[in-house]
A and B are shown apart, each in its own frame.
Chain A
Amino acid sequence: MKKFWLVFKHEYLRHVLTKRFIFGILSVPFFVALSIGLGLLSVILSTDKRPVGIIDHSGVLADPVIYPEKRDGAIPFTTFLFFTDAKLAQVALDNREIQGYYVLEPDYLTTGEVSLTAVEASGPGSEGDFAALLRANLLKNQPTELRQRMLEGPEVTIHSVADSRSVSPDNILGLIMPIVAGILFVVAINISGGYLLQAVVEEKENRTMEIVLTSVSTDQLMAGKIMGNLSVGLTQLAIWLAAAVIGTLFYANLQSDAGSVVMIRSYLAVLALTFLPAFVMVSALMAMLGATATEAREAQQISGLFSIPIFMPLWFITSILEHPDSALAVGFSLFPLTSPLTLPVRVAISTVPAWQIGLSLAILVAAAFGAVWLASRAFRLGMLRYGKRLTLRELLRGAA
């Protein structure tokens, strides 16, 4: 058991302590934050903060209500300046004191016509604010509740028939989170698998295998390698998730109504139950590849056979989200390579029958056991065959 920990520690630290790993782990949240930051910065920088002029001949904006007086976000509500006639507004525009000016004609209420004069052909980017201002002032004499409803529109919440889960536009995170978390998990599985593949092939390539095998049992060696490399993937995942949570808290207020709590709980439970065997299955398959292939490059090429199906549900994600109970979605939930990404997403957005969850998990666990069996067999048969590939037939039939 002691040697298992030594192998575990060696496998874990040799990846985690490399510059490549640290760079890789930091680069994803860094580039995400950077691209969001740059996007926001460019919007802020490109926003013209000068006021916009209004000449009101219609009287709609006499004694105006400025609505909304303030709003959330990086871009403030446009400031409006009222001019008595167009000449004064034109002077202000010529002096670049204002972005442009709107003129409401006396018959605005009947025609709805408004003219805008601006330096740039595209006009100031404040049409929305001007329209909001007009609406607020047209409705200012209406009862508060009516005015509020007309200004804000309906807030639609979609309720699932079976339970209390709900997805509303405000709870969009509840919809995106399972997909994002699923992708992160699958990425972590692939990274771990990749490290494991590399670790096994490398020992064959650099001929360390025999020295190690005369020091530690194959079981302890394999277990240490699998757990060590899985932990590398989990470390990566934990750091990314932490970054995602911090990022989410920073940019949005997390909804904490009862529905989303129920959803997150059941989603997390299925996610955990799915990903544990998935992790073991993919790692064992990668270890098997490493043991059967003759060199790292060849093994990496073949590993696509496993990693492509794992990501395949993403190609059909729209269909899965729209029809979570379709034959395609159910099929993906049952096939062990596609279920890690499909099943948790389905559980998050719809009511999946218990038998499907049970069957899916059972198949996944069976596949994980099968993969470990194949991996240890491949390892024993293929570990000392330098330059000679182990065939599938030998793997299924041969004796160590």
Chain B
Amino acid sequence: MSLFLLEIRQLAEIEAMAASKKLITREEWEKKLSDVKIRKEDMNKLVMNFLVTEGYVEAAEKFRMESGTEPDIDLATITDRMAVKKAVQSGNVEDAIEKVNDLNPEILDTNPQLFFHLQQQRLIELIRNGKVEEALEFAQEELAPRGEENQSFLEELERTVALLAFEDVSNCPVGELLDISQRLKTASEVNAAILTSQSHEKDPKLPSLLKMLLCAQNQLDEKAAYPRVNDLSTATLEDPAV
């Protein structure tokens, strides 16, 4: 009986909370939004930042010409950066390392973790191509010495070499290392390192703003019912559920 009473009390509290939530109509909300002023140049800078960071070099060039917004780095370097990224994504790691060194030799010298991950990716590619003996030789010569110096490198190396214990890697617990996602992860790490070396943020600002929007909406949901943006791709305001 007491449990039943408790349930009723909780329901009553929920209803009271719902009733106490402030309701904001579409008109009110749109008026509030129209009062907020955003400068066109700021918008353009955000778009340019996104295009540059993500490596859309042609789009960035056209956008520069059309909007007059200057990128904060030389667009020619984007082409080089994207070439490195593409090389890693297609499994051509040696070529990628060469290109990074051409771009800026200090990047790999000052970032041992990145260099290790590139070498690890190279080992993965050798294993993928069934070059077992070559893979073991390469790992012994290039990666084992780094593993001796750094415990986390050693553990990653062990995980990678463990691929060789399985003739059928589809049943292998570390089989994800052979997925394309692993290449993308390494490519993303190289991309970030090049951007950092160019004194540029490694992540574009636009996605961060969208995350902040979602976060703010979630917090506001607790206090009010208001027209929400549920679909970021259309940014349509949807009427509050009363």
Q: Are A and B physically bound partners? A: no
